[in-house]
Structure 1
């Protein structure tokens, strides 16, 4: 079985609701947070599969198309790869928030699909998010769910950023 880290996108990998960008609806709006590529590279070197699981209701609400979202994700993966950071797969729920679909976090279908497709051991895996739905989705499938930027009582641990979370993951896996 494989070990994995599941990352939310907005607020964990890239800026959102900052002075530079409100939402990422075009690839030109994608600004990586400091240390993200290096953190993902460390996970790669430690043989973790790295996945992005993201709610992208902007598609369902008409702010961008599926093709535009695919372009953003291709750009993100390509730019990270240039820095030595590999993403195994990016999965996005494109339903509008009010649709209450099974894949939109806090629903856990994206995680369940990846766990199954890649033969992932939940006991050796982590979810890293910046909002309550991320933590709820990870907890629902039994993965240690870590919060960055914010705090949440149901998070296993809370950190200031992805780099700090990854350092803790690498130590935790040795325990």
Structure 2
């Protein structure tokens, strides 16, 4: 009876040790996973901020290359957006006058090949209008966010940025949105 009893105790002890080792390994993996997730999200936040700085740098480069009042940061002034997705269109307004001034803008759909009843302006979720003061020679950077519904038709629309300076027309650049 004693031999069986010792074998049972040894087996129980080995089972207990295996359980402890598995628990320690599981906790270690959990902690490493949480650290990895935190690192990924911290890096993602940094990447978004650096992209914004890079976009501002590219816009400034366009202002120096071309004497323009407004720059829309889109290749060929066109954005191709998939149904159900969100997309941001960046633009900047430069005050070329010698004094500070109050500027405002409104984004309007001026042309569309979408089916009747489709309102492309409803795709704009943020940044449809804005108002701000720009010192002489400075720029104001803006972002307009488009959310294309999953039910949208495959079509396109031309949008105009109607920019006013102290109530009179300052510039009216345009860009195209193509739903794909």
TM, length-normalised to structure 1: 0.25
TM, length-normalised to structure 2: 0.25
Structure with bigger strand share is 2
Greater Rg by CA: 2
